[in-house]
Structure 1
C-alpha cells in the first residue's frame, strides 16, 4: 500500500513540477528518471505529512467502498438474514429496527457484547433482535451451539433464551456434563435435548448460517447487521445506540 501511495504522490508531484510529456516514466531517460525520483524524495522528506494524508484518504476511500458493498450484500441476503424461519427472535419482534448478531459462545468479545446488546434492547424497547448461531472457535463452540439449537427445537424460544444467556455468561470448558448441569438449572429435558443435538436439522441450521456468513464475507464474531449496515466486531452500548438513532432519523 505504501508503495502505491508513494507512486501516487510522485505522479502528483510530477504533474506540478514537470511538463505533461515527462510524466510517462517509461519515456524518461535514466538521468531524467533519477532526477525526477530525487525531486520527489526531497519533497516528501520535507513534507512527510503528505504521506499520512494520502494514507488517511486511501483508508477513507476503502471504508466507503466497503460500506457500499456491505449494503448490497445485506440487501441481497435480506430474507436469510432477517426471516430464515429458525433463528431465535427476541427483543421486540415487531420492532421498527432489526439487529442481527452472528455469535459464538466461546468468543470473548461476544460475551463482552452480550451485556451491551441486552442493555440496548431493554432501554430501547423497539428493536427486533435475531441471533445467528455461528460456531467458529472449535469443537466446544459447535457443541454449545448444537445444544442451544436443540434446546430451542425441543423446548421452545423461552428455554433457548435462558440457555443462550447462561452460555454467554459461562467461562468454563463446555462439555456435555457442564451443559447437562446448565439445562437442569432451567428445567430443560436434558435427555431430549441430547438426543436432538446430532439431528440433521441442527446440522442444517448451522450449515445455513455458515453459508450466509460466507455470502456476507463474515469471518469473525461478533458481527452485527443493523438494518442495512454490517458492523464487524465488538461495539459498546453507546455506539450501538447512536447507530440505531441514526437509522431512525
Structure 2
C-alpha cells in the first residue's frame, strides 16, 4: 500500500479495528510491543497507515506510545469494559428517549423489521448450534454474521433517529472502542437463554418506541446495554487464556 492510501478512511478504520480485535482476543498480549515494521508486513501496508492506526489506538486507550520504545499494548480491564457499558447504557438510553420523539413512522417500521430479522437470525444460529451438539459449527457462521450486522443496525437506527449528531458520534466512538470487537467474540458464548434475553430486550425497546413512551424506552435500552455489559465482563473473566507459542507470545 502506498502512503496515499492513508486517505482511504475505510482501509484505515479496518486496520484500527483489526489491531483492536487482536488486543481484545489476546493475540496481542498486554505489555507486548507493536512494532510498526512488523505490523506493516503483517497487514501488507506501508508504515504510514500503521503509524496513524497506532495513534488512534492510543487515543482510544488500547496502546501507549513512548519515544524510542514504540507502541505497547494496554488491554482494557474488566472494570474498564464495565464502565464503558455503563456509560454507553446511559447515553443510548438518552438517545432512545430522544428517538421516540423524532423517529418517523417509516423508520419505526424499519426498526420493527430489523428486530424481526435479528429474531430469525438467533433462531437459525441456535438451530445450527444445537444440531451440532452445542458446539460452534460451519452452519452457524452465516446466521451469526447476520445477527451481528442486524444487531448493529438496530442500535444505529435508534441513535441516528435521536436527532442529536454529537450524541450519536460519542456513542459510535464508544461502540468502536470496546463493544464491537468484544461482541464479535462473544456471540457463540451467548448461551441460548442469554440470546433470548437479548431478543426480549429488543422487543421491550420496540414496544416502548411504538407506544411513543420515552421514559419506558430509555429504561428498556439502559437495561439492555448494562445487562449485556455484565454478561461480557463475566464471559471475559471466565474465558481461558490464549495459548502461548514457544517464543512466549500469545498465539
Q: TM-score range by the shorter chain?
A: under 0.3
With the length of structure 2 as denominator, give the TM-score of the two structures: 0.25
Structure of greater relative contact order (alpha carbons < 8 Å, 6+ residues apart): 2
Q: Which has the higher helix share?
A: 2
Q: Which has the higher strand share?
A: 1
